[in-house]
Each structure stands twice: as C-alpha cells, then as structure tokens.
Chains A and B, each alone.
Chain A
Amino acid sequence: MMNNDLLFDFNVDKAAKTVYITREFNAAQSLVWDAFTKPELLDQWGAPAPMRAKTRYMDFKVGGRRFYAMISPDGQERWSVQEFTSITPKTNFKMYNAFSDKDGNRELPGSEWDYNFSEQNGITRVDITTFNESLERLEKLSEGFKIGFTMTLKNLEELLASLSQ
C-alpha cells in the first residue's frame, strides 16, 4: 500500500448520531482545499470507482449550491444537491446534502456535513463530520431500546414468539 503512513479513521458515534471521518494527504493545505471545493477537481475523485461524479454547476459561496450526479458504469445517474452553509477559506466549510431528481428538486431530509482542514509538516489533515438523518432514525430506535426495552433484540424475539403462541 502506498499510503500506509497516512492516517485514515472512520468512527460512528451512535449517541451523537454522527459519523467522523479523518484522512491525511501528502499535499499542502491549499491544494487539498481546492480538491474539495473546485468542481473540475472534485469530479476527478468524488465518486468511488467504477462510479464517476459529474457536476452540472457549483457556486461555492455561502448559500450557493453544487448540483451533481454519481453515474454508474451502466449510465444510471443519482443526483444530489449540496448547499453551502458556512465557508472559512482554506480551513472549514459546511454544507447540507440531499438527494434530488434530475431537475434538482431535493428529497428532504438530507445530511449535514462539516469539513475541517489543517496542515503540519506538509501533511494536510481533513476531518469530516456528518450527521445523517437515516442514521438518526435508526439511533432513535436503539435509544428506544435502551430506555424502554431493557432486553436485547434476541430476547424480544423470544418474547414476541411466546406472545404469538
């Protein structure tokens, strides 16, 4: 592996209903910032192969939007709209991401994203935090279990089975 020395962290905090992603890059902060905020660069890495990303437009300013698609090898397009809610050049930006139709009509709710950039000794660290509605939905559920059901799911299954006899 070429990037063994570069940090990659992925943590799910169920209590905070949040996913934390951290990655280091062997490049200056201004270049990494550009790679995350300029459409012509984003489209070159912003979808996991064999998918590809295509930005129809991007207005990187507070209140501005990026309208883009993830395209599968067989040509299927999954459109999303990102709305930028806060920008501190080179160090932080926040956005609200939601799936949309091909005309940009959003399917709410979406998810909140927070990107932080910092550099040390030529290595740029990016910390990404995302609060996801669907995760929250599932987490509400597990909290419900903690509060209301002190038994495990397995025990619940047995109980449901016994009740249904």
Chain B
Amino acid sequence: MAEKFDMTRQAVSKHIKVLHECELIKSEQSGREIYYHFNAKKMQEFDQWLAQFRQNWETQFNQLDQLLITIKEQK
C-alpha cells in the first residue's frame, strides 16, 4: 500500500489511524492480520449532520421572525 501511494509505511499507518478514529473505515481482526473496510455510511452521516445543522438554524430564524413581529406589535 505504501508503494502504491508513494508514501512511507508510517504515513500510511497514520492515515489509517485517523480514518479509523473518525469511523470512516472499520477494522476487523483476523488472527495476526487486521482488515479495513470503507464505511460509506459514516460519510453520509456527516452530510446528514450538516443538513440537520442547517435545518435547525432555519427553524430558529423563522421563530425569531415571529418574535420580532410580536415585539413590534407591542410597541
């Protein structure tokens, strides 16, 4: 793998460690070997998290529109 990417073995290990921490790859121990699998679901989760974050703000801003109307009417 290091050969394939023109990287040191240590660099590849580091990348794999970060990917694994973020759950973008899953590991599976088999005797002395560890197999890694790409976790497409996790990438979708991040996109969903962003979409939810946006939706939350949109909902709150609409609530603020209503509050501003109420306050202006009271004046």
Number of interface residues of B (CB under 8 A): 39
Interface of B is mostly: helix
Residues in B with CB closer than 8 Å to A163 are 1
Say yes or no: is B32 at the interface (Cβ < 8 Å to chain A): no
CB-CB contacts below 8 Å: B26-66 with A: 33, 35-38, 40, 43, 46, 50, 53-66
Report whether A47 and B60 are in contact in the complex, using a CB–CB cutoff of 8 Å.
yes
Q: A21-B57, A45-B67 are in contact. List 7 more A-B contacts (CB 8 A).
A: A8-B61, A31-B71, A32-B68, A44-B67, A137-B22, A153-B40, A160-B38
Show 21 A/B contacts (Cβ-Cβ < 8 Å), sorted by A. Answer: A3-B65, A6-B65, A10-B54, A10-B58, A25-B65, A26-B68, A27-B68, A27-B72, A45-B60, A45-B67, A47-B60, A48-B59, A48-B63, A49-B59, A148-B12, A153-B38, A153-B40, A156-B38, A159-B4, A160-B25, A160-B36
